[in-house]
Structure 1
């Protein structure tokens, strides 16, 4: 599409590869950190149309990508048109890259928009490139023993009030790499990001964090996760799905709360045997039980199933969402994309 035109999926043109790559074996893929992309991608130059600095953001959900673009003054686009482009790309590559004999593998869709002005100055971009790539992913099973988290160093934060922790922008991830690498070195899987002097729990790596416990005042079983109103965390699509399913299917059994909770609350719940289970929810690792949190020389051991497998709420959510994702049940959240070959593009 031309750079002076709004995003319009109907103007898409096709160029198919003459040398399609082999779909990798999932076992081989699981043993490497390399991301293998499918055969095709979509590119769409765009131009600024509104008075909307920073220049890179990525996301899976089209409306959140638009919000993220607006937060850093990138050109706006129609999210519905982006959704059409994503579905078109999946209709071309999906069937060959998701063969029926490799159940459990999936495609990770990564739309990205970057400023492309021919200048080095810091200013609102007037031109941008929106592109979509799709990565082939093997099944990501729960780490043996469950996910182990290390709280962030006192001098490092991932997001802050007034910042952009709620937006899917590259600047949210680069500064977190150093702390994450140190967590890996010490034998942990991710960072539990705390914020403020009280140590409010925000995110587990790049995933939303959930805690199930019994409330101290009345023993009610509660599922709690950080709120969105202070804009410290990402409004995760998997997060929203988990909250909706628990409210719908576990009504009367589990009370759902979106509110602040601190590392002190977790230490207290563990000491009083009220901590029932915890999990991280996100796109790649999906629903993953958390078995341990290490904070300033203290270990918080969190109940899991045998070998770190999911417990009650975690297991139900993983099962319900997995059934939708892999087509074992029909649900309004699960959209079926028709296969499109080279002959009917």
Structure 2
């Protein structure tokens, strides 16, 4: 910029805030009084504390630390920001009707993350955020591991951070029924989700491989109870996983099955009921699966809130989580600060 132009710009800027004889600065913002009606809210989404522990390939693990919840300090070149070097778990802690805090099957999550650190965090924050005066409530835990090595380049990160936070989550199994759309192949995940929502469906039933195997409803596990073709007890079909049988009148079958088998069972009148299960949605009845424009419907029971077995499984798991079935092997009771 030429010197004359610079001078002109400076003079104009100076003139914008000149003070006339009445003492009021021209162009200055008006003086604002305190206005309580303009109060804005920034609500806490996590509890008071978090746990962090740093690791490096050379030194191993530093001592884990429980400290106030707050921002993480990362270099802009941290591998998690560029190459998504991250893994996480998700589970809930429940305030039982007997006043105790419980984790549900944390050993399954702790195969990847550390159970003792989760318990330590909840022993400190549990009493304040889900007090004994609020039985039947829960918090959501998110143990997370991120790569923190400050170097660009696709490689295994030689530095990492483990952190555990605890937050609130809405109750997501409250709708009486969910519906799912099983998409044809050739659609990307984002496009499929929008297509399903626009058509009025709640979730996507993901199909895998050339056989179109039924896998998950959204990010939840998909279950169907049907009558087997060869007769006998109704079968609750699920993908292979750990289980405990509580309904002797049905057979729990862990195997792979296809959308074609589901459609065939519907055509033959063998579908009894269906539901999705996961950490977030818990147990959510499914009233219909749509595949290539065809609705495969399942019973919602006499109450209209879910099939008989769906509601039975949901109540059984709630009893374990909230202490109505005490001393169950799947529930880990947490000793809180101040308790013996």
Q: CA deviation at 1:109?
A: 0.8
How big is each residue's C-alpha offset from its partner over 1:141-171, in whole Å with a ceiling of 9 and x where there is no partner?
A: 3323x111011341257xxxxxxxxxxxxxx
Contact 1:292–1:299 (8 Å) recurs in 2: yes
1:229-240 residue pairs with structure 2 within 5 A?
Answer: 240=242
1:285 maps onto 2:281 in alignment: yes
Out of 234, 255, 261, the position equivalent to 1:221 is 234
Contact 2:50–2:166 (8 Å) recurs in 1: yes
How big is each residue's C-alpha offset from its partner over 1:91-141, in whole Å with a ceiling of 9 and x where there is no partner?
A: 111122113443432111110101111112110111101011111234333
Number of the residue aligned with 2:157: 125
Out of 138, 145, 156, the position equivalent to 1:113 is 145
TM-score (norm 1): 0.68
Describe the SS at the equivalent of 1:269. helix
Structure number having the greater helix percentage: 1
Number of the residue aligned with 2:130: 98
- CA–CA separation in structure 2 for the residues paired with 1:36 and 1:177: 27
Is the alpha carbon distance of 1:64 and 1:120 closer, same or farther for their aligned partners in structure 2, counting shifts above 3 Å?
farther
Is the alpha carbon distance of 1:287 and 1:132 closer, same or farther for their aligned partners in structure 2, counting shifts above 3 Å?
same
Number of the residue aligned with 1:339: 336
Out of 155, 158, 182, the position equivalent to 2:186 is 155
Number of the residue aligned with 2:321: 325
- CA–CA separation in structure 2 for the residues paired with 1:318 and 1:41: 31
Describe the SS at the equivalent of 2:320. helix
TM-score (norm 2): 0.69
Describe the SS at the equivalent of 1:132. strand
- CA–CA separation in structure 2 for the residues paired with 1:332 and 1:110: 22
Describe the SS at the equivalent of 2:323. coil
Contact 1:289–1:308 (8 Å) recurs in 2: no
Query: What is the root-mean-square deviation in Å for CA atoms of aligned residues?
Result: 2.6
Unpaired runs of at least 5, structure 2: 1-42, 61-82, 92-105
Q: CA deviation at 1:332?
A: 2.0
Number of the residue aligned with 1:197: 210
Number of the residue aligned with 1:168: none
- CA–CA separation in structure 2 for the residues paired with 1:181 and 1:338: 45
Q: Max radius of gyration: which structure?
A: 2
Unpaired runs of at least 5, structure 1: 1-33, 69-78, 158-175, 228-234
- CA–CA separation in structure 2 for the residues paired with 1:153 and 1:124: 36
1:15-164 residue pairs with structure 2 within 5 A?
Answer: 36-48=45-57, 55-60=85-90, 79=113, 82-144=114-176, 146-156=177-187
Contact 1:45–1:129 (8 Å) recurs in 2: yes
Structure number having the greater strand percentage: 2
Contact 2:183–2:292 (8 Å) recurs in 1: no
